[in-house]
Structure 1
Amino acid sequence: MYYVNQEQISARLDVIPQLVDALGMIAEGWDGGLLGGLAQERALHLAIETVTDIGSCLIDGFIMRDASSYEDIIDIIAGEGVFPEDIHGTLLELVRLRKPLVQDYYEWDRARLHPLSLILPGILQQFQSAVQTYLAKELGA
């Protein structure tokens, strides 16, 4: 029997609609200004943390192989069929932004709308739905 912390997963899944809305507003009102640039950075960072936190909870709960990196978290849950293969590459691209956002933030181009900001809302919605479906299937709920 698995112990999957559904409460933690659910709390993180509940953040996704806020990120979707925020990314949409950021892209729609993009003017290259500092405030928008900082908001975009934070929204992308939260998207990374949300996706990887959910992935870590799934890996721990379903006793999947241990992840060695953020990219590995995405690869493991993709391999387990948690989400559709067509979003795998975009999620990898997202988590690869963690180092530039968290460690190399002083080099981040805040005046540029990052291309992921435009497509990520749809990808996050797909991810959220896929995780919910996966949990229902695996836990028989």
Structure 2
Amino acid sequence: MYYVNREQITIRLGVIPEVAETLQWLQSNWDGSLIHGMAQERALHLAIETVTDVGSYLIDGFIMRDAASYEDIVTIIAGEQVFPESLSEPLLELVKLRRPIVQDYFDWQRHELHAFTAEMPDILTTFKQAVESYLLRELGE
């Protein structure tokens, strides 16, 4: 039997609607200001952390192979068909932003609207629904 921490997964998935709403708002109201740039940076960072945290909980709970990197987390859960194949590439590209946002933040282009700001709301929403479906399929309830 698996021990999947559904509570923590649910808590993290619960952040997705707020992140998606923020990214949608930024897309619609972008003015290139520092405040919008910092909000975009934080929203993308939260998207990355949410996807990788949920992925880590799934990997641990379902005893999937160990991940060697953030990208590997996405690759592993994609291989386990946690989400549709169409999300694999955008989620991989998303987690590749972690280094520029977290470690190379001094070079981040805060005054530019990042392409993921428009794409991520739908991708994150689909990811959330897919994970919830996966849990129901694998664990029931």
TM-score range, shorter chain: over 0.9
Which one-letter code corresponds to 1:39 in the other structure? Answer: A
Which one-letter code corresponds to 1:73 in the other structure? Answer: I
Q: Deviations over 1:29-58 (max 9, x none)?
A: 101000000000000000000000000000
- Counterpart of 2:78? 78
Which one-letter code corresponds to 1:4 in the other structure? Answer: V
Percent of pairs with identical residues: 62
SS of the counterpart of 1:65? coil
2:43 is the counterpart of 1:43? yes
2:132 is the counterpart of 1:135? no
- Report the TM-score, using the length of structure 1 for normalisation: 0.99
- Counterpart of 1:18? 18
Which one-letter code corresponds to 1:77 in the other structure? Answer: I
- Counterpart of 2:6? 6
- Counterpart of 1:121? 121
- Report the TM-score, using the length of structure 2 for normalisation: 0.99
- Counterpart of 2:102? 102
Hey, what's the Cα distance between the residues in 1 that align with 2:130 and 2:140?
A: 15
Report runs of 4+ in structure 1 exceeding 2 Å deviation: none
TM-fit CA distance, 1:140: 1.8
Hey, what's the Cα distance between the residues in 1 that align with 2:7 and 2:86?
A: 27
What residue ranges of structure 1 are gaps of 5+ in the alignment?
none
Hey, what's the Cα distance between the residues in 2 that align with 1:102 and 1:113?
A: 18
Q: Deviations over 1:78-126 (max 9, x none)?
A: 0000000001000000000000000000000011000001000000000
Which one-letter code corresponds to 1:130 in the other structure? Answer: A
Aligned residue pairs total 141
What residue ranges of structure 2 are gaps of 5+ in the alignment?
none
SS of the counterpart of 2:81? coil
SS of the counterpart of 1:83? coil
